[in-house]
């Protein structure tokens, strides 16, 4: 599950690679959601639609939780985090990446994708 406050090329790259991973591991019942956080639901919806169309995203759900512009309270998403990535299996969070402004770069993207192995059935 991803909570993003900014849609840019790095997020698009991460989502494309997650989309591919979900396709490659379709037998493992993986799911991915990108929650676009913020006050302007219309702008966020437009950004989500553009990302899906431009990058042909098929397996990752792109959503705008309009009733929770800062994410679900019980998830305790930091208001300072530009991107929060939670990888969980069952009901247990196995990996939690919290990235500050402009923290999503190629190195962070690789770390997130490498951590997928922690939730895949080996």
Band of pLDDT at residue 91, cut at 50, 70 and 90: confident
CATH number of the domain encompassing residue 103? 3.40.30
Would residue 52 count as lying in a domain?
Answer: yes
Would residue 47 count as lying in a domain?
Answer: yes
What's the domain range around 46?
Answer: 2-117
Q: What percent of the chain has pLDDT over 70?
A: 99
CB 4 within 8 A of CB 34: yes
pTM for this entry: 0.92
Would residue 59 count as lying in a domain?
Answer: yes
Would residue 122 count as lying in a domain?
Answer: no
Whether the pLDDT of residue 122 is over 90: the answer is: no
**What is residue 67's predicted lDDT score, i.e. its pLDDT?**
86
Total domains present in the chain:
1
Task: Give the mean pLDDT of 10-21.
Answer: 96
CB 58 within 8 A of CB 21: no
Band of pLDDT at residue 69, cut at 50, 70 and 90: confident
CB 34 within 8 A of CB 60: yes
């Amino acid at each position: 599950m991803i909570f993003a406050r900014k849609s840019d090329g790095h997020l698009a790259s991460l989502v494309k690679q997650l989309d591919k991973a979900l396709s490659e591991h379709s037998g493992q019942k993986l799911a991915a959601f990108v929650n676009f956080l913020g006050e302007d639901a219309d702008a966020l919806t437009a950004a989500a639609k553009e990302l899906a169309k431009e990058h042909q995203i098929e397996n990752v759900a792109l959503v705008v939780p309009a009733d929770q512009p800062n994410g679900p309270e019980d998830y305790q998403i930091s208001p300072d985090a530009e991107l929060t990535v939670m990888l969980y299996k069952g009901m247990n969070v196995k990996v939690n990446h919290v990235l500050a402004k402009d923290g999503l770069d190629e190195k962070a993207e690789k770390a997130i994708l490498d951590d997928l192995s922690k939730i895949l059935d080996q």
